Amino acid sequence: MYRTAPLGKRPRWWTELPLIAVVYALYSAGRLLVRGDVQSAVDHGLSILDLEKTFRINFEHPLNRLFTDHPALGIPADFAYASLHYILTPALLVWAFRRRPADYRFLRSWLMISTLIGLIGFTLLPTCPPRLLDPSEGFVDTMRMYAEYGWWGGDASAPRGLGGMTNQYAAMPSLHVGWALWCGVVMFRYGRTTWAKIAGVAYPLTIALVVMGTANHYFLDAVAGTAVMGAGFLLAKPAVRAADRIRNRFSRSTGKETTGTPANVTAGCETSAGTALPRAAASGSPAGDGSRGAPERLREADASDQIPRQQAPGGAGDSRADGAAAAAR
């Protein structure tokens, strides 16, 4: 897994939480608003089903019959479809934030980019799920069949009375499978026990069976969800690098505006920041070279000026000194 932060350095939660909230709000709003034409969505669903029948990969048919014939399988599957998608994924994201700060930004970016790619898929290819096709196609909506056991109604996994707040024609790709794959990779990669690694393999496979058995997705929806996560994985590292470059440029630009004048060395051998310098450096002489600095010579000159002249009686000493000075000139 790619590290995108120094080891042990944790991103700030007050910047991460709004970012995740904005991305999820965009996903939810886009999923709700991009409903598409119902007939077009039905046509897309039938086309996918026909393609699967051609290659005999319509695994959702036998799984749906199994779940409807055996409530012991169908009811837990409905609970898993309606809840794990929204519980385990954010739980693992928080765990990565707290325990794997060096890898968190990559994992978060991978999940977000894949989700936005999935939103593009919902927009370009609105698809009717198997449970909403004509009953002649042989599918039973297990969410509606077992609605008395859970909080959901007949409108996907939405709580009763809130079915109008979801886009039921956003089947392609299956982000239930995509997010489950992300969770599986995190559990397998970072799990310290054998059971954690087993769960990392079993969870996405189980969710793939659940979405087909409950007639919420086609097999090719699950394949598309896996492909979307693969694309997000490849784009996550370049996206993090681009974000780092933008942040570094912004930091440099703001740093130039706030940079003050550099500290200057004063005559008192002290910087403007208050740091004292060695005397030899202040005097301009290298330390330890045996030469005397300017302050030492000044002190000697001052001392020589203070030595009194010896005067001869009668001022003769002054005359001889003056004569010698004149001869020297």
Take residue 34 and report the two structure tokens written for it.
Answer: 């991009």
Asked whether the beta carbons of 25 and 116 are under 8 A apart, the reply is no
Take residue 202 and report the two structure tokens written for it.
Answer: 């079993």
The DSSP letter of residue 164 is: G
Q: Residue 329, Cα to own-chain centre: how many angstroms?
A: 86
Model pLDDT for residues 217-263, shown as the tens digit of each residue: 999 999 999 999 999 999 999 999 998 888 788 777 766 655 554 54
pLDDT at 256: 60
Q: How deeply is 2 buried, as exposed, middle or buried, from its count of CB atoms within 10 A (0-12, 13-18, 19+)?
A: middle
Confidence bin at 113 (pLDDT 50/70/90) = very high
Domains held by the chain: number: 1
Q: Looking at the domain assignment, is residue 323 inside a domain? A: no
pLDDT at 288: 45
Confidence bin at 44 (pLDDT 50/70/90) = very high
Residue 100 and residue 107: Cα distance in Å, rounded?
A: 10
Looking at the DSSP assignment, which residues form a beta bridge with residue 152?
159
The DSSP letter of residue 277 is: -
> First-to-last CA distance in the chain?
89
Question: Among 199, 214, 218, 221, which Cα is nearest to 76's?
Answer: 214
Q: DSSP string spanning 43-111?
A: HHHHHHHHHHHHHT--THHHHHHHHHH-HHHHHHHHHHHHHHHHHHHHHHHHHHHHH-HHHHHHHHHHH
Query: Phi and psi for 270 in degrees, rounded to 5?
Result: -145, 140
Tell me the angle at which helices 194-213 and 175-190 cross, rounded to the nearest 10 degrees: 170
Model pLDDT for residues 168-203, shown as the tens digit of each residue: 788 899 999 999 999 999 999 999 999 999 999 999
Confidence bin at 86 (pLDDT 50/70/90) = confident
Mean pLDDT of 295-317: 47
Mean pLDDT of 150-176: 71
Q: Looking at the domain assignment, is residue 234 inside a domain? A: yes
pLDDT at 247: 77
pLDDT at 29: 64
Q: Looking at the domain assignment, is residue 68 inside a domain? A: yes
Q: Which residue has the higher pLDDT, 30 or 101?
A: 101
Q: Looking at the domain assignment, is residue 100 inside a domain? A: yes
Q: Looking at the domain assignment, is residue 104 inside a domain? A: yes
Enclosing domain of residue 117 = 38-251
Instruction: Measure Cα distances from 152 to 75, 112, 140 in Å.
Output: 12, 26, 16
Residue 321 and residue 314: Cα distance in Å, rounded?
A: 13
Q: Looking at the domain assignment, is residue 84 inside a domain? A: yes
